[in-house]
């Protein structure tokens, strides 16, 4: 939709009940070109039954030059942290 309408979103909210990784994979061009700030609701409780985890979401975002923080506490959340996550991530493109 973004490409078809020549849109460059500045902010994207993703809340897909466990399909966040698929959405982000489909949005790689937007992540690379538009570099929007993201609010991603993610939960290992929903991703684990699908054979995925928040770590994969974080890895994809990091590979695209995003730094992630817990939206509530503000603490950094990284793929290498090795903790289960349930909540909202704010992903900010790094320079």
Q: In this structure, how many other beta carbons lie within 10 angstroms of the beta carbon of residue 93?
A: 16
The residues facing 22 across adjacent strands are none
3-state secondary structure of 95: coil
Compute the distance between CA of residue 31 and CA of residue 64 in angstroms, rounded to an integer.
Answer: 7
pLDDT band at 28 (very low <50, low <70, confident <90, very high): very high
Q: What is the pLDDT of residues 30-53, one digit of tens each?
A: 999 999 999 999 988 888 887 788
* pLDDT in the model for residue 9: 94
Instruction: Say whether pLDDT at 1 is over 90.
Output: no
Compute the distance between CA of residue 61 and CA of residue 78 in angstroms, rounded to an integer.
Answer: 10
Tell whether the torsion through CA atoms of 50, 21, 45 and 85 is positive or negative. positive
Q: Are 55 and 45 in contact (CB under 8 A)?
A: no
């Amino acid at each position: 939709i973004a490409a078809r309408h020549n849109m460059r979103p500045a902010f994207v909210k993703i809340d897909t009940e466990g399909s966040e990784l698929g959405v982000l994979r489909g949005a790689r061009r937007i992540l690379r070109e538009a570099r929007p700030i993201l609010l991603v609701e993610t939960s290992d409780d929903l991703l684990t039954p699908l054979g995925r985890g928040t770590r994969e979401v974080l890895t994809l975002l990091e590979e695209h030059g995003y730094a992630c923080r817990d939206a509530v506490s503000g603490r950094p959340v990284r793929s290498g942290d090795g903790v289960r996550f349930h909540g909202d991530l704010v992903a900010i493109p790094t320079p």
